[in-house]
Every structure is written in structure tokens, then in C-alpha cells.
Structure 1
């Protein structure tokens, strides 16, 4: 199947600084893809190149088989939502949404119809005549989203659109944004540094680090089969196990380590206990076969924690799920 959006060998330099190095990725129609990585890894630069706001130093961008690398932003049919929302403070929600339609050749009645449809899609009918200063952060984000989708774009570009919101609103809007994307069937690319956001929202995740793409896969593939210690560490919690083998290192997720009363497995001492609501995250001190001390993180259900009467400095036994151990070559360590 031919990709809808294809980025081919894109490099972007600013003087002596390389923001992107030989980046290639294909995105399919109606797909929701997250560009995930730490600050400064190049993900926003890549989004801006897709939008035409930056030109690649080398490489190309194709949409539907057509080379759009040199096409200006105004000639690319995309909607964009920024972290700051960029709403006009002197315009109501409705007027902000309508702004992008001006000069597109629509009649007044057509514009009204499109704006009202977009307002309904993002559930803003009850605040359509309010100014941004009288809207909550979540409502402002919806206005910015409606302003993007009212243009019926070919694809939607989101630059950390939820990062300015508090945790509870952010969680709700993740779900709403994904449901809206599925309903509209719009190809969407979202930049985020939030691994939970990427895991819960995307069809595929593009993990970036140091100006390069380091892994592309479904959320399950990225989490369960990371191809490097960097990906394993960046996406979710991970334990790197001290190993005498100089050629490789092993790792295991906290949920794939179990504990039992002392004497039935690898001996360990509880160093710290963190309450996480539905579970406890334990930090355990144990010894390797070489006699070195190492810290292992384990997630334990609240029920089991109470059953075992876990407490700091108490002794327990560890059990590692052999089929869940991850092995990396030492040269893969980032």
C-alpha cells in the first residue's frame, strides 16, 4: 500500500547544528502517529517541515505521491494546533473558528454551516460566543482544534496540544481527540514528549533521539519490544540488570517482576515504597551473582502489598519473568 505521507531522507541543519539527520518515515491515510522523544530531538522541526514552515536541507516530503517539498504552507492542505493555541483574544470562539475560512471563496451561509458543524464536533455550542479569556484551557484547546478541522484538511498537525492542561483535563481530552480523529478519518501527526500520551492515543509511535528516528512501531511493539536501551528507558519504567557478560545487557519492566515472602527466590531488601493509587512501586536492593548491589523497581498491587505487610527494610524474594526479559547488545546502549 502506497503511504499517504512520505518523508524521505530529510536532513535539516541550522549552521553547524544538525536538527534532523537522514530521517525517513511513511505515514498511511487516516493513521494517528505520535512523534515521541526528549526535548531537542528534532520532532518539532520534523513537524514544521511537514507543514512547510521549514525547508529541509536535503531530502523530500511527498503527499499522495506528489512532491510537496518546495510547496509553501498556504498551498498545503493541513490544519495545525500549537501548544499555545494561538487564539485571537478579541474574537469569540465562533469567530476564531471562522477566521481560517475567510478568503477561501465560501459564501456567508456556507461559512456559518461549516463553523456550526465544527462547534458541534468539539462540543462547544454552549460557549461559542465567549471570548478566549472566558474559556477554560480545555475549551481553548477545543477552539484551536475546531479552527483546524473546519478547513477539512488532508492531515492534522498537533504540536504538544495538551501539554498546557492539568492532568485530569489532559486525560479526558486525549480520549476525545482520538475519538474525533477516528470519526473524521483524518491523518494526524502529533508531537509529544509524554510517553503515556503516545501509548494511549497513537496507531504508531515514531521514537526520536538526537536528530534521528530510532524506532517505529505500534504502542505495544514499542513498549514490549524496544530495540535499544534508550527506547526501553524512555517509554515506560525499566530495570537494567547488572550482567557480567561484556557483550550484552538485560532489562525487565517493573510489572514483570514479582515478589514473595523471604526465602523463596532472589533475596532482596525493600529500600523504598511509593503509593501510586491502584498499586505500590517498590525499590528493592539485591545482589548480583558477581556480588554487586543493584536497585530493582517492582510494581505490586495494593492488595498484595497489604497481604505481605510490606514495609521499608523488610526482606522479600524476587522472581523475574524469564519470557519478559529484554536483551540488548552493549553497542546499542545510548
Structure 2
């Protein structure tokens, strides 16, 4: 049986009567990039802090490369953590910030200088070596903090929402930068985020958490295409939920809650007896596509109270002459329908 590189086994954390984590178990392979994803307050940052040694679990074990680290102090773990606030020393230059952690390792001045130069080069900030954090942009500060963590050559790199303070364009660029550095240095990386796009684009494996528990673990494709319950389906991407009684589909179990992604609903070119009649309520131009909101006619002939959301390529929307109040016919491909138990929770605040 293959052994995981990083093993989190039955970890719980309680603060008084409050359970921040409940029996969390996760297996992570060497060099894997894992995202802990979930709403605010779901326990993901608490778990990251326990891996770093900044919090102690109430119960459970944590093992890295066959060595138990549960009770080890942070300095003995060979794990580097990059904080959400970057935590750069304002009175030290970029180079001195990177050197700080290396000095704690009792390296020679020559070794430290070489590692600092290499770290600055890998994040393309050699020219900013003598600048202080206040003289750097948010993106540059983030890269210095990342360089400081990687320069320590950790077994595991922990990232606590590293992109949340940056604007959208810088965030997209640094997603690719972090992923490139991860692959270049072959580190096992665990990143906390509540941003579904970050998780989908950066992770090899996503761990979806809610209320201190692991809800689902899988690749981005598995999490998106085969969510285990309505919470995961709703948290990852846009989705439509509706009762099975709304449509005359050949699914025998009428107790199921159905769901479908906006991109999987098809607008038919012309009226069809097999199509679902609907009226367009709103259109939102999203550049390459339109997001369209419709009210549909159910099996009883009544118009729905809820809006159905679908995405249509801009070119197709123009060709079909889609506009507000236009009547259209929809097709919901059976292969793209998801079915859940009606008793499952369908809503959760996104954090």
C-alpha cells in the first residue's frame, strides 16, 4: 500500500465548546498542490495553522514523510508558511526579509547571499533587493513573501489565502507564478482559499470543507462535474437547482433534487415538442458569452417562480436574436443532470 507524503489523521480542534475541526483526515502525495476550499469559518485556516505548528490539535495526528510532527515546535517541522498579510518586516529590505529565515538556520553568510540571490531571481525581483516593503506594490510584496518561504527549501509549503489582497489582474498573473514555482521546485503545497477559481485553476486536488468537516476530496474536474451534495455543487461554479416534479424527465425517483450547470442547458433553434418553453427575463453580457436568466413553464403549465440561469456564446445569442421577453425552448441533456437527495442542504453562505 502506497504511503502518503503528508497524512492528516482524525484531527479535531476545539476552542472551549466550539468545534473548529471535527475528525479531519486528508492524504496528500509528494509534490502535490492541494487547495483547502470552503466558506469563511469552515476551519481551513485552523487546519493550516496546525500543520505549521501555530496551533495544537485537540485530537489526531499529522505525519510528514513518515515522521510525526503533531507535537513538534514550528522550527523543527521544515514547513514554511506564507501568511495572508505577507508578514514582511517593514524595517528590512526585500533581500534582508528573505535572509531572515535563513539566518535562523545557521547558514554561512556566503550560503545566505547565494540563496537570497536565487530567490530574488526566481520571482524576477533582483532589481528590488534593496527596497523596503513600503516601496513595493502589493504584488511585489507577495512575491517577496513567497521567495522568503521557498528559500527555506521546506518539505511542505503552506499558503494562507496569498492572493486575496490583490486586484484581479495581478491575482491572475500570480496564480500562474505560484503554480510555476511549485512545479519548478517540486514542493508539496497546501493552499487555503475561499475562491473557487483559484482552486479550480491551481490545484491538483481540492479538499472542500464546511462546518469543520471535509465534505469532498477530488481533482478539480471531479469536484466540478460530480459534486457529492448540493453544498459542493453550489459552492463550485454556478448551478441551477429544481425539483424533479418541474419537468417531465424520465427519472423515476421523484424525491430527487435535480441540478444542472448553466453551460449545459441548450437553447433550441426552433420550437420543439420535446423542449421546455421559457421566457427570457434578463441578459448579462459577459464578453465571450451571455448569461441569460429565464422563467420556464413546468409540467403543469405554470411559469416558475425561480429563475433558470444558462450561458450562451455571444455569437450564438446574436444569431438567435435573443432578447428580453423572447420565448425560447430549452433542452436539459440527461447526461448533464445531477441528482441529490431532497433532504440535503442546498444553500450555504459563500465566504
TM-score range, shorter chain: over 0.9
> Runs of at least 4 residues of structure 1 off by over 6 A?
none
Question: Which residue number corresponds to residue 216 of structure 1?
Answer: 217
Question: Which residue number corresponds to residue 234 of structure 2?
Answer: 233
Whether 2:262 is the aligned partner of 1:254: answer: yes
Gaps (5+ residues) in structure 2?
A: 246-252, 347-351
Whether 2:287 is the aligned partner of 1:277: answer: yes
SS across alignment from 2:149: helix
SS across alignment from 1:332: coil
How far did residue 153 of structure 1 move? 0.5
Question: Which residue number corresponds to residue 14 of structure 1?
Answer: 15
Report 1:176-195 matches (<5 A): 176-195=177-196
SS across alignment from 2:343: helix
Q: TM-score, normalised by structure 2?
A: 0.93
How far did residue 131 of structure 1 move? 1.0
Partners of 2:255 and 2:242 in 1: CA distance? 13
How far did residue 309 of structure 1 move? 1.5
How far did residue 46 of structure 1 move? 0.6
Question: Which residue number corresponds to residue 120 of structure 2?
Answer: 119
How far did residue 284 of structure 1 move? 0.6
How far did residue 179 of structure 1 move? 0.7
Question: Which residue number corresponds to residue 299 of structure 2?
Answer: 289
SS across alignment from 1:105: coil
Give the aligned CA root-mean-square deviation in angstroms. 1.2
Question: Which residue number corresponds to residue 40 of structure 2?
Answer: 39
How far did residue 229 of structure 1 move? 0.4
Report 1:126-145 matches (<5 A): 126-145=127-146
> Is this contact kept in 1: 2:24–2:213, CA < 8 A?
yes
> Is this contact kept in 1: 2:244–2:255, CA < 8 A?
no
> Is this contact kept in 2: 1:251–1:326, CA < 8 A?
yes
Partners of 1:180 and 1:67 in 2: CA distance? 27
How far did residue 275 of structure 1 move? 1.0
How far did residue 262 of structure 1 move? 5.3
Partners of 1:126 and 1:316 in 2: CA distance? 58
1:243-290 per-residue CA deviation (whole Å, 9 max, x = no partner) reads: 236531110000000113452221100011111111110001002224
Gaps (5+ residues) in structure 1?
A: none
> Is this contact kept in 2: 1:261–1:315, CA < 8 A?
no
Partners of 2:5 and 2:118 in 1: CA distance? 26
Partners of 2:150 and 2:104 in 1: CA distance? 17
> Is this contact kept in 2: 1:242–1:288, CA < 8 A?
no
Q: TM-score, normalised by structure 1?
A: 0.97
